[in-house]
Amino acid sequence: MAATTATIQPARPLGGQAARRLWRAVGRNRKATAGAVLLLFFCFLALFPGLIAHDSPTAEIYGRSMGVSAAHLFGTTAYGQDLFAQVVWGTRQVLIIAFGAGLASTAIAAIIGVTAAYLGGAWDGVLNLITDVLLVIPLFPLLIVIAAYVQNSGTLVLITVLTLTGWSYTARQLRSQALSVRSRDFLEAARVRGERAVYIIGVEILPTMTSLLVAAFLTNALYAVLFASSLQFIGLGDPNATSWGTMLYWAENNEALQTGQYLWAVAPGVCIAALGTAFALLNYAFDEIGNPALRPVRKIRSKRVRPARS
Amino acid sequence: MPDDSRPELLRAEHLTRHFKIGGALARRTLHAVDDVSFSIGEREIVALAGESGSGKSTIARLLARVYKPTAGEISYEGTPLTRLRSRRDRLRYSGRVPMVFQDPFASMNPVFRVSHGVLRSLKLHRPELSASQRDAEAARVFEVVGLGAEMLHRFPYELSGGQRQRVGFAQALVTRPKLILADEPVSMLDVSIRIGLLNLMAKLRDEEGVSILYITHDIASARYVADRLIVMYAGEIAETGPIEEVLASPRHPYTQLLLSAVPDPRAPLHVAAETDRGEPPKVIDPTPGCRFRWRCPLAIDVCEQADPVLKDLAPGHAAACHVAQTGAEVRAFSA
Amino acid sequence: MSDPRVPEPVLEVSGLSVEYVLDRGSVRAVDDVSFTVGRGEFLGIVGESGCGKSTLLFAIAQLLAPPARVDGGSVRFQGTNLVGLTDRQLAATRWRDLSVVMQSAMNALNPVKSIGAQFKDALRAHGVRRSDEIAARSAEVLRMVGIDSAHLRSYPHQLSGGMRQRAMIAMAMLFTPELVIMDEPTSALDVVAQRSLMVQIKELQESLGFAIIFVTHDMSLISHFSDRLLVMYAGQVSELGATRSVFDAPRHPYTQGLLEAFPSIRGAKVPLKGIPGSPPNLAIIPNGCRFHPRCPMAFDRCSEQAPDLYERDGSLVRCLLYDDAAAGSATQQAGGRADA
């Protein structure tokens, strides 16, 4: 065979092909499809809130505590703000926190977890100690303390606080996974041919863990949503921001449930739950996609066994 | 022991590697390799054969500098490896003495194309090449190992086991090696595919002038490609010499046992009346004495007391056995 | 060496096919396999990776799990078709008359239970309840395989690899079955331990009289112990005959290629070739004979007509060279095709 001098395609990872396979996998898995649709719906709300809710969320110009009507789909708050607009516009902040904290804590968890697994020895010991200490400290009280210290935490502060306290759990997971691939021959081959540790961790190990990284991101995003809303609910967020958590704060302050303004509390609450469910469904689906053994076994209806041939 | 007719590439002297095992309260030492000395010359294939626990894989990793020796020294072209301090020196050594791994399904990163390892090796070891020169060189080595250049942009899952092992050899070849450490390169391949890889190894020795340390548990394949044979047992060398001579007249009882157990479809298997039931020991905190003595029908008193030392019994053919060294004819297990 | 015409069949496999049902369609891992095993006979099933031998074994032992399923044919054990029986119906036969030895004892034995406890589980599952009977039988089977009965108290990880495999075989002997199916029980062992285990198995067989189906990829090892040999390729039987006959005069070009791929430690050193190419992807099987793309003796019809099993000198061969009707045109072209 004649040697060709055509340029060889650079050894890029399976980018396009993996994306297509992922798309198909999501489509075929019911949980994944449901979760994806839900998440996309919320993303749409966050990107184009004006298209859905025409009123301003903050203007206190409407009648107070009005019920459900054509003009106000969810009614109004005790301050005369349109509830529907608040829910829709509040999506943006929640998603920003979810994606922001989710991505940041996953990134930190990946770097620390995989480095600890790869380097082993003393490095592993030190990084593990840090991880474990953070893991053991009760997360929510810690969050409260920090958030209370900072006072009136805006979006960025919330993301930072959530990231710093949230990376430890997934760092453990990613470390375990990295430990299991550490002895794979292709990593030893990389070491033996002289690659540096940073290269091996970043280029050789992390790309093989993509499904776990996505799962970690979804977990962290889910917890970011829940914890951020909880902090805002107890008043540690910026009460003037438009967010589901702050809506709950004001609803609580005005005794919404006791005074019959149910939607004020229920609407943001349901949204928080729905977004959380979206992340959780996608998480399950990724588990199943990554590990076929977890897929639901559909019983194969046994055909009538054909009689043996000659 | 060393074959004086050809220039020496690599020499191991009194190479020892121990591992600490057990918890903090019950510290014990596993003797994976003990006092092993041998050399490898240019343009030769040396087979390092042994069963599990013999230490052969540990030796490969010692030579590849994955482990540091507990004692003893390895020299490459006269320079001890401990003198390789700078990253450049170490990189140069790993280019001259690369390793090929056993498992074709784990030796390549599944997310990259098969050209990845080859191109990375070129970038690291031959930085003077331009990108197009690298591409050309990658295509060249792929042709040498019997894969077409068009294979370069495939992914590992598209290749068969035999093809993947060829990629492993290509990755080793691209750094212009003098000695390839092949750690059981064909053990996980189907029998009909093995021959192709073994023929490739012989071709690399003959046409590319590369030496190979062929680590295996399969003596028959060792015979097919190797010039010399080193038989290991329980971390020590039992016997070594030109391969045809060792196979024709094995001096160490373990070598005889090993050869008698190798099945040959063309010859009837002589099943000895008392079949050896033992297995190679895990050498943990050993007492002095020959490590084969429990399975050896010829063991004498000195075998319990002193470790046998490797001594020449014929030119270039040495065995570490007290009984053989007394000059007596050793016939422990008939083939 | 027993006669290939089996007078007292213990197992009759007829037209057995197994398919894997996947998202994009199904793949036939075993295609229309038929053979019989007589009382006390040692049948070796050999083949390379992807030939379907392990799937075949699992199908016979009724251990297939979705997405694999039997797609056709029957497995008659002592007259009863095992295909389609429920686990409860199979329980009576399992281990009493038909037992299975797996490839890796470390995977098949429970690592947190002692050997004795696992024997006890098996014995009690089949109605042996008295502890003195259990102890006696457990010690007896261990003795049969050359293990001291003190090891009943040992855990699997405390035994060496060879001993673990022997313990697996002892467990399979608990009820002196009629047929023992073994899936590569020697692959994880070193060559010396392999030989002694095979000798042990053969001795047991000769003293207890059970039949064995032994699946392996190591042809040279099995050649010294089996009575008959079945060579599989791409899910089909490609050759079946008395072992010595298959080795001394292999008929199928695949068998010939396989035997020529074994380097020998005795005798002259000759350059060998192996078989070019690799086994077909079972989702895309070649037209005609499945082996023809790699066959040095292929002729025109091989790519069009799928060969049946033809009989020749007491062996069965799936090759058009032995189809007497095609023989005429074959001899004109045989040996003309150069291999890659």
Digit-coded pLDDT (tens) for A137-180: 887 788 788 877 877 667 888 888 888 888 988 899 899 888 88
Q: Which residues pair with C99 in a beta bridge?
A: C180
Q: Which of A297, A303, A305 sits opposite C83 (nearest CB)?
A: A305
**pLDDT of A104-130, one tens digit each?**
999 999 999 999 988 888 888 999 999
As a whole number of angstroms, the distance between CA C303 and CA C294 comes to: 11
ipTM over 0.85: no
Task: Please report whether residue C241 resides in a domain.
Answer: yes
Q: Which residue has the higher pLDDT, C303 or A10?
A: C303
Flag whether A26 is in a domain.
no
Q: Does a structural domain hold residue C147?
A: yes
φ, ψ for residue A262, nearest 5 deg: -60, -45
| Residue from A192, A198, A208 to probe the interface with B (highest B Cβ count within 10 Å) | A192
What's the whole-model pTM score?
Answer: 0.82
Looking at the structure, tell me whether residues C165 and C195 fall in a common domain. no
The rounded distance, in Å, linking the Cα atoms of C122 and C114 is 13
Residue C76 sits in the same domain as residue C213: yes
Q: Which residues of B touch C271 (CB under 8 A)?
A: 199
Q: Which of C11, C121, C15, C28 is nearest to C67 (CA)?
A: C28
> Domain residues for A109?
74-292
- Whole-number Å distance between alpha carbons of A9 and B144: 20
Q: Is the residue at A36 inside a domain? A: no
Kindly state whether residues C36 and C141 are assigned to the same domain: no
pLDDT (mean) for C285-311: 89
Q: Is there a single domain that holds both residue C249 and residue C186?
A: yes
A39 is a domain residue: no
The beta-carbon neighbor of A185 closest among B107, B115, B132 is: B107
Q: Are residues C9 and C118 in the same domain?
A: no
Among B51, B196, B259, beta carbon nearest to C265: B259
Residue C93's pLDDT band, with cuts at 50, 70 and 90, is: confident
Are residue C87 and residue C193 in the same domain, yes or no?
A: yes
Structure tokens at B91: 């990189």
Same-domain status, C92 and C185:
yes
Average pLDDT rounded to a whole number, residues A43-49: 89
Q: Give buried/exposed letters for A221-238 (b at 16+ CB in 10 A, else e).
A: bbbbbbbbbbbbbebbbb
User: Within a domain: residue A123?
Assistant: yes
- Contact predicate C39/C211, CB 8 Å: yes
Domain count, chain A: 1
Query: How many angstroms separate the CA atoms of C198 and C221, rounded?
Result: 9
Check pLDDT > 50 for residue C143.
Answer: yes
Q: Are residues C57 and C68 in the same domain?
A: yes
| Domain CATH for A214 | 1.10.3720.10
The reply to whether C227 falls in a domain is: yes
Q: In the complex, which subunits touch A with 3 or more CB pairs below 8 angstroms? A: B, C
**pLDDT score, position A43:** 92
CB atoms B175 and A189 under 8 Å: no
**Predicted local confidence at residue B205, as pLDDT:** 95
* C308 occurs within a structural domain: no
CATH of the domain at C234: 3.40.50.300
Do C18 and C150 sit in the same domain of this protein? no
pLDDT at B272 over 70: no
Number of Cβ within a 10 Å radius of residue A188: 19
What is the mean predicted confidence (pLDDT) over C266-276? 83
- C166 and C37 within one domain: no
- Whether residue C133 is found in the same domain as residue C11: no
- Residue A18: the pLDDT is 59
The range of the structural domain enclosing residue C251 comes to 1-97+176-270
Q: Kindly state whether residues C166 and C180 are assigned to the same domain.
A: no
- What is the pLDDT, as a whole number, of residue C180? 93
- Facing B98 at nearest CB: one of A184, A186, A193: A193
Regarding beta strands B228-233 and B45-50, do their DSSP bridges make them parallel or antiparallel, or are they unpaired? Answer: parallel
Q: Is the torsion defined by CA of A180, A185, A187, A192 positive or negative?
A: positive
| 8 Å CB contact of B275 and C195 | yes
Does residue C119 lie within any of the structural domains? yes
Query: Do C217 and B269 lie within an 8 Å CB cutoff?
Result: no
* Short-list A49, A47, A60, CA closest to A250: A60
Note whether residue C35 is domain-resident.
yes
Round the CA-based radius of gyration of chain B to a whole number and report it. Answer: 21
pLDDT tens sequence across B315-335: 889 999 998 888 877 787 765
**Could you give all domains of chain B from N- to C-terminal order, each with its CATH number?**
8-84+178-193+226-325 (3.40.50.300)
Q: Residue A181: which pLDDT band, with cuts at 50, 70 and 90?
A: confident
Cross-chain Cβ contact C15/A299 below 8 Å = no
Confidence of residue B190 (pLDDT cuts 50, 70, 90): confident
- Pick the closest to residue C135 from C154, C113, C157, C150 (CA basis): C150
When pLDDT is averaged across residues A78-95 and rounded to a whole number, the result is 87
Distance of CA C167 to the CA centre of its chain: 20
B-chain CB neighbours of C268 within 8 Å are none
Q: What is the mean pLDDT of residues B168-190?
A: 92
Q: What is the mean pLDDT of chain C?
A: 85
C323 lies in a domain?
no
Count of domains observed in chain C: 2
C196 vs B contacts (CB less than 8 Å): 261, 275-277
Residue C333 clears pLDDT 50, i.e. is over it:
no
Residue that has been written with the tokens 């197009």 in this structure:
B132
